[in-house]
Amino acid sequence: MQENYLVSQRNDLIEARHTNPLSVREQKIILTMVSMIEPTDGDFKDYRISIKEFSEMLGLEGSVKYTELKEITKDLMSKSIEIPRTDGGWLFANWISSAEYQKGEGVIALSFSPKLKPYLLQLKDTFTTYRLSNILSLKSTYSIRLYELMKKWQHLGSWSCSIEKFKEKMGIEHKKYPRYANLKARVLNPAIQEVNEKTDVFISLTEIKKGRSVNKIKFAIRHAPEREIQVPHLEKKSASIEEPNELDKLCIQMNELAEGYQFDTAFFAQLHQGASLIWQDDAEQELEFLIRYVNEEKTVKNPLGFIKSKITSAWEIHEAGGRITFADLQPVKERWAGREEKLPDWFTSIDEPSEPSESNPELDKEKEKLLKKLADKKKRTKKDASTS
């Protein structure tokens, strides 16, 4: 297990309802398994964790007893999750399908439920990535869940949620903490404090009231890489500093271009993966164009969220068979009335990115118009080719 292992999950899984919540120990086991998945894996494997690492990760004292190990894995196999589907349906699935203690090798081999494949394998869009080391130091199950949700919404800089929905996401029973004051004292405040002290995000809370009661909470989220905690027992092993890989070097290069904001390696890996799928060999160039635009367009308030939203929009165009680039993108203040726009207005909008609960009719019409235009162009190209 390495401290720079990344945990990547589809956002549906992060937003899922924890009807039978994992304990802190179980969360760390599951997320360690997730960090062992390679981006190119087409199927799940048996994920092997040595007893030594298992003990250190869970804070078990002395030599691990066989009965203790058996109980931990047995309880883990009974834990399930409810994942909402876009069509209004849902999926109930156990996290683990099998667990095997290989005594001679001093290893526990664990397997994910096959139903979780779409949420953990070959992720291409709408997923969240963070370093495993951030959650291994947390001691509360609520802190881990809060951290994951904050990482999911970090690119937007904020996230709001009703009290009831928040309790569902935390795995808190409906009848537990009926008074907001108790929820705040027992869950919110301790979790926020621990996340702020031990991870790479810093969050603050705003309470939204309806009458005299708090019915909604809003989190402001800021990336704080200087706060990231490294795994203590792994620090001792890393006497020599490893050379950064190509992606890390590219991230450093792009951070040198960025003005007033910085990419962390996990967030940049998501952006680069999306850009590479769209533009392939030109991905680096397109990212550079976009960063230079954001540097000059001073009205963009959330650079990281803006960049991610534009790459997401470009992906939609790419999926529809079209092609769009950032090469022609210029700040609003430099445009003139007669200039031919190669990018549609909705794509160059400097509004803060958001995820509305309902679709925007004007945006949908604009996209539909653009996609129809692209489709007509492709038809004309094929017709010209057949007649020539």
Give the C-alpha separation, 233 to 55, whole Å.
12
Partners of residue 159 on adjacent β-strands: 219
What was the pLDDT predicted at 245? 72
Q: How many residues does the chain have?
A: 388
pLDDT of residue 327 exceeding 90, the answer is no
CB-based contact 289:329 (threshold 8 Å): yes
* 16-57 pLDDT per residue, tens: 888 788 888 889 889 999 999 988 889 999 999 887 777 776
Start-to-end CA span in the chain (Å) = 60
Q: Residues 282-290: what's their mean pLDDT?
A: 87
- Fold agreement between 1-131 and 137-242: yes
Whether 382 shows a pLDDT value over 60: the answer reads no
In terms of pLDDT, which residue wins out, 233 or 96?
96
Lowest-pLDDT choice from 61-65, 151-155, 191-195, 296-300: 61-65
Residue 266: predicted pLDDT: 76
pLDDT band at 380; cut points 50, 70, 90: low
Band of pLDDT at residue 388, cut at 50, 70 and 90: low
Helix (H, G, I), strand (E, B) or coil at 159: strand
Q: What is the structure's pLDDT at 375?
A: 62
State the pLDDT at residue 220.
93
What's residue 68's pLDDT? 74
pLDDT tier for residue 228 given thresholds of 50, 70 and 90: low
Minimum mean pLDDT among 111-120, 202-211, 235-244, 306-315: which range? 235-244
pLDDT at residue 342, as a whole number: 44
Amino acid, res. 138? L
Q: Which amino acid is at 354?
A: S
Helix (H, G, I), strand (E, B) or coil at 145: helix
For domain 1-131, give the fold. Arc Repressor Mutant, subunit A (1.10.10)
| Selection from 16-25, 75-84, 258-267, 348-357 with the highest mean pLDDT | 75-84
Task: Decide which of 143 and 366 is more confident.
Answer: 143
Q: In this model, does residue 339 exceed pLDDT 50?
A: no
Domain layout of the chain by residue ranges: 1-131, 137-242, 265-387
Report pLDDT for 376. Answer: 67
Q: Does residue 247 carry a pLDDT above 90?
A: no
> Can you tell me the distance from the alpha carbon of 371 to that of 12, in angstroms, rounded to the nearest whole number?
27
What's the pLDDT at 239?
36
Q: Indicate the CATH number for domain 137-242.
A: 1.10.10.10
Task: Work out the percent of the chain whose per-residue pLDDT is above 90.
Answer: 26
Give me the DSSP letters along 254-270: HHHH-SS----HHHHHH
Distance (Å, whole) CA 319 – CA 304 = 23
Q: Where does the pLDDT of residue 1 fall: very low under 50, low under 70, confident under 90, or very high at 90 and above?
A: very low
